């Protein structure tokens, strides 16, 4: 019985129940939300600002994420090479990465 209580699953269930009790207890003492219209508006020192819809450009994010991944993998590959390895393959690898990044720049 004690092995079950102190197993990872038993400890997880205990802390899950403890978290639920804390959540419900905090909900009892928390102030109740009122019907204030200003809660969902932008705040700018008391001024009423016009609400503008923002459309982020996800394509630019994915381009930067791809470049980061390519360069990060290259850096990790070079960093994990053995100490006695010839530097010539490293230069070829860096050249290949540079060609991949240059090819991605072409549209």
Q: Which residue range(s) make up the domain with 86?
A: 55-107
Residue 70 scores a pLDDT above 70: yes
Measured torsion, CA atoms of residues 17, 19, 23, 26, in degrees rounded to the nearest 10: 110
Q: How much is the pTM? A: 0.41
Q: How many domains does the chain contain in total? A: 1
Asked if residue 84 is part of any domain, the answer here is: yes
Q: Looking at residue 25, what is its pLDDT?
A: 94
Flag whether 43 is in a domain: no
Supply the pLDDT for residue 107: 61
Residue 86 within any structural domain of the chain: yes
Within a domain: 104: yes
Q: Is residue 22 part of a domain?
A: no
How much is the pLDDT for 61?
Answer: 83
């Amino acid at each position: 019985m004690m092995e079950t209580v102190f197993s990872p699953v038993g400890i997880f269930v205990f802390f899950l129940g403890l978290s639920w009790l804390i959540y419900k207890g905090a909900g009892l003492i928390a102030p109740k939300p009122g019907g204030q219209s200003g809660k969902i508006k932008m705040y700018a020192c008391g001024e009423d600002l016009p609400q503008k819809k923002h459309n982020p450009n996800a394509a630019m994010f994915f381009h930067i994420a791809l470049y980061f991944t390519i360069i990060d993998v290259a850096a990790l590959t070079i960093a994990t090479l053995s100490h006695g390895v010839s530097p010539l393959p490293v230069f070829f690898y860096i050249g290949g990465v540079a060609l991949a990044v240059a090819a991605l720049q072409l549209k």
